Amino acid sequence: MINWLNKIMPNVISMGWGGDYGWWQSIYQTLFMTLFSALIGGLIGLIFAIILVLTDNDGILPNRPVFWLADKIVSVFRAVPFIILLFVISPFTHLLIGTTLGATAALVPLSLSVAPFYARQIQVVLKAVDPGKIEASQALGANNWDLLVIYMKESLPEMIRVSTVTLISLIGLTAMAGAIGSGGLGNTVVTFGQQSKYDVVWVGTILLLLLIFGIQAIGDWWAKHSNHAV
């Protein structure tokens, strides 16, 4: 069995499981970058989405200057391609992390790239909440915090769905983050692909697909069950 694997996947076997350049390290780096940039960027995006919805003309706290500023910040960062953002903010990354290389440094551009993407998606989801429910709650004396809770509760299933899409998009961005030596499965596939070591390319691609399908399945299941709970 080992001889057969060595024959059809020599580079996959030579990479090994452990070590700084083994399969486990690549998987760990992908999961690390995806999870933590999703948490950081997701939180930033959620805050901006809430600001955009609440301060819009038809929001519960209309404020044109605040809305304009938040909208322009989201639009600008959304418009910058990720691969360019990597280098544009590299001085800020170095100031914050102390280096521009590695998976930890990649969290900065990944978070700043996913935040506006997530903000726009959550903005659309929150805006879709039935205005009648908000108006009825206001008539019953609900304060701004109560109304925000209603927004979040009513849109929970869709928020889970767009969060799933965001996570999957992030996995793709981690591959481009290899430009700053972040590592990860995407970087492994690209690096070995350039060296024509296609057995590593296939295995790495399959692992990425399994990760994506797993996230999609969990997201679909969670959204379905949360829809019943709402």
Q: What is the DSSP string of the chain?
A: -HHHHHHH-HHHHHH-SSSTTSHHHHHHHHHHHHHHHHHHHHHHHHHHHHHHHHHSTTSSS--HHHHHHHHHHHHHHHHS-HHHHHHHTHHHHHHHHS-S-SHHHHHHHHHHHHHHHHHHHHHHHHHTS-HHHHHHHHHTT--HHHHHHHHHHHTHHHHHHHHHHHHHHHHHHHHHGGGGT--SHHHHHHHHHHTT-HHHHHHHHHHHHHHHHHHHHHHHHHHHHHHHH-
Check residue 163 and give its pLDDT: 93
Q: Are 61 and 144 in contact (CB under 8 A)?
A: yes
Return the half-sphere exposure (C-beta side, CA atoms, 13 A cut-off) of residue 187.
23
Position 77: which residue type? F
Check residue 145 and give its pLDDT: 85
- CB atoms near residue 159 (< 10 Å): 22
Structural domains of the chain in order of their starting residue, each with its CATH number: 23-229 (1.10.3720.10)
Calpha distance 193→162 (Å, rounded): 31
pTM: 0.86
Written as tens digits, the pLDDT of the chain (230 aa) is 556 555 566 666 666 676 667 778 888 888 999 999 999 999 999 999 999 999 988 878 889 999 999 999 999 988 888 888 888 888 888 888 888 788 888 889 999 999 999 999 999 998 888 777 877 877 777 787 888 888 888 888 899 999 999 999 998 888 877 766 777 888 788 777 766 677 778 888 888 899 999 999 998 888 887 765 55
